[in-house]
Structure 1
């Protein structure tokens, strides 16, 4: 298979599952085999998997089942019946007798038919406690099918950096447009504040001259009124003085 799915504790998947779900799982298990995809359901007892789905499973690995109750004995008998019998031993007895690291195995052979059940030992995984040496690491890396492809660290631009740059460019464009929109007002403000432009008086200076003329006109009118009033009083006093002198001389 090119792709393998493992569903551990499969009883949690099928407990109280609606029929629509089990039908869909059965359909998937039936169709994906031709696509190079395998599905493994891992559970304590074969009864945890619905019979329709269990019938689609070609490879079977059965560890020990202990039968202490009538229900357990029925489960052992049902599990034994799912295997192709082997004349060398009794499958039902073997399910009870297998120990730690043992299992009953049946797989599909070349033409798709199930093989006879075999009692096998599970090979423990090869492992090492502690880190490997530098030489071992180099040998493993050199033998890797992707050797030389991922040796050089490449710091590619992340999506965050691309979005941040896009936001900054947009903000700069808005600020630039606002500055360009504000530029025509600057000469107008300068011209308004300017007092002289060659021989021409600016608008602000003309306004000041007009206000000065209005102030001068008001002062002239006030002085003329005062002079007229003073002149009238002085004339009256002079006339009274002359007339008084004439009458006294008589």
Structure 2
């Protein structure tokens, strides 16, 4: 008896006539298929389940990792119920955010960025603070105004004029920082001037405060890249909260 197929993420383009827009969308799917062949199924990145590019259709199906999503575990919740996280949950959130940053960095190493990160796009495959991406988001898709989900959209996603891989990498940093701040505090951040974490009664290292604030800068050129200090600060914040409770 064959095993039941698991949940999957599916994207399809039907090509009724060839024009630049249809050809661009089909090419993006073809690039995603090649990318999944190259890196899929490893280190928290989604695995290719199926896909094809033909004269009338282009489609990609990736297997969704098993587990609960970031939103299932950490929120954010409805504004009426929003409040800062307790110490134990905040420590777990920061560990997952660091793991998600690691996975995004592996995607960035291929020259691509996700640019559609939301709490539904990060899957927690099990205990221990790990994270996986549900899909590749907008990897291989050309930038366009108002791209990606409106939730946590960064300023450069609302307009054209900023190009290059580095912009996409730092878009991912901004979206991840906004998700982390929102769930920690119960309030979405104001880009460029978020309230300090201590204003919500959160006892966290100054380095984490500074790195989250920098990642939420409206100018992508002033944001930190995901590897290095940002990931270090997330892990240090998680460790700090763990020590405080002992």
TM-score, structure 1 as length reference: 0.22
Give the greater-gyration-radius structure (CA).
Answer: 1
Q: Which has the higher helix share?
A: 1
Taking CA–CA contacts closer than 8 Å with sequence separation of 6 or more, which of the two structures ends up with the larger relative contact order? 2
TM-score, structure 2 as length reference: 0.22
